[in-house]
Amino acid sequence: MSLDEVKAKLLASYEADGGINHLDGTNLPSQESVDALARDLMHLLFPGYFSAIGTKRSDLPAWVDRMLHQVDTRLAAELEKCLRFAKRPEPENQARTAATALLSQLPELRRLLQTDVTAAYHGDPAALSVEEIILAYPCVLVIALQRVAHILYNEKVPLLPRMLTEYAHERTGTDIHPGAKIGPSFFIDHCTGVVIGETATIGAHVKLYQGVTLGAKSFVTDDQGHPVKGVRRHPTLEDNVIVYPGATILGGDTVIGKDSVVGGNVWVMQSMPPNSIAYYQGDQASIIRPRKKKEELLAEFADWVI
């Protein structure tokens, strides 16, 4: 088939299969520009870490001024595209408001991210320095951009929040929806294959391992059988919860109580009381029981000791 024939068939397909075209519509946000925005935001949040040339403290005011203007210009432009797509009134003014709202929260975001980095450093005995965490641990990128995207999500901005989190997703294999509410000192060890849904809520000092899913048990549907948007579908993890590799926790009414542990490869669709543990035993379904101290467990098995 010649290129002219391919061209003709493609043009015909654009007419026949128009559902995946975006022609004569609003200008959508640029993937290249959003990726650059994500990189620039990481520079602002972690100055001196991702540059080819070291950043001196004496140069910091001028550097921050340049980076802020660069991010502000790009952010406002992409936000305006998103708001025009959503047919919002006065998209230019709304874009300016949303951009200012995000940039004004960067100092607070840095405070939160410091708790996340500290949690990673103390949560992994293999970590030798904070510098190693920031430079080499994928959870830093994932959590930082999710926290940024969550601010835009709360501002009701379409498209851009998901594009920012997808930048991290494609680089790490971890997918955290911008809508998820995440407390301080959050750590995802290995940070591969983790999925956290839109309406999930995560408390403080929570630690997840690879392959964990915080997902939906089922969907509420309308009269046409389509999923209803905005309904709570994903679980809540309270403070100090640990979830081991491959665990799946489902349902908007599922609450994992504080100080609890979910074992590896466990499937949980019911709430767990505080200070409990879920695990598999043989071929049985997942077992949930109170956590016990080491001394209590040793006492239980004392008769086994020869």
Domains, the chain, with CATH or none: 26-172 (1.10.3130.10), 193-306 (2.160.10.10)
Q: Are 261 and 291 in contact (CB under 8 A)?
A: yes
More confident residue, 25 or 293: 25
Mean pLDDT across the stretch 46-75?
94
Residue 298 has pLDDT above 90, yes or no: no
Q: Alpha-carbon distance 234 to 241, whole Å?
A: 16
Alpha carbons 98 and 82: distance in angstroms, whole number: 11
Distance CA 95, CA 302 (A): 66
* pLDDT at residue 300 is higher than 70: no
In this structure, are residues 41 and 71 in contact, taking their beta carbons and an 8 Å threshold? yes
Average pLDDT over residues 279-288: 73
The 8-class DSSP code of residue 215 comes to E
- Most confident range (mean pLDDT) of 150-154, 280-284, 299-303 is 150-154
Q: What is the pLDDT of residues 140-182, one digit of tens each?
A: 999 999 999 999 999 999 999 999 999 999 999 999 999 999 9
More confident residue, 18 or 76: 76
Q: Which helix (H) or strand (E) holds 41?
A: helix 31-45
Averaged pLDDT, 19-38: 94
Q: Which amino acid is at 39?
A: R
* C-alpha to C-alpha distance for 249 and 270, rounded to whole angstroms: 8
pLDDT at 51: 86
Token pair of 103, please?
A: 């940039």
In the prediction, which pLDDT does 280 show?
A: 85
Q: Which has the higher per-residue pLDDT, 293 or 26?
A: 26
Judged against a pLDDT cut of 80, whether residue 296 lies above it is answered with no
CA distance 40 to 34: 10
**pLDDT level of residue 208 (50, 70, 90 thresholds):** very high
Lowest mean pLDDT among 7-21, 116-130, 153-167: 7-21
**Residue appearing with tokens 């990481």:** 42
CA dist 171 and 169 (Å) reads: 5
Q: Which residues of 73-102 are buried (b: 16+ CB within 10 A; e: fewer)?
A: ebbbbbbbbbbbbeebeebeebbbebbeeb
pLDDT of the residue at 302: 54
286, pLDDT greater than 80: no
Vertex 242: Cα angle to 128 and 263 (nearest 5): 115
Mean pLDDT (the chain) is 92
User: What pLDDT does residue 249 have?
Assistant: 97
Q: By C-alpha distance, which of 226, 196, 197 is closest to 211?
A: 196
For 29, 157, 159, 164, the CA distances from 85, given in Å and listed in that order, are 9, 10, 9, 17
Note the pLDDT tens digit of each residue in 81-96.
999 999 999 999 999 9
In eight-state DSSP terms, residue 176 is: E
The pLDDT of 234-239, averaged and rounded, is 98
* Total residue length of the chain: 306
Amino acid at 84: R
Residue 209 CB burial class (10 angstroms; 0-12, 13-18, ≥19): buried
Q: At what angle do helices 31-45 and 106-123 cross, to 10 degrees?
A: 70
Confidence check: pLDDT of 303 > 60: no
Is the separation of the CB atoms in 214 and 249 below 8 Å? yes
Q: Which of 48-62, 198-212, 281-295 has the lowest mean pLDDT?
A: 281-295
Distance (Å, whole) CA 119 – CA 168? 20
Query: What pLDDT sits at residue 105?
Result: 98
Across the range 232-246, mean pLDDT stands at 97
The model's pTM is 0.91
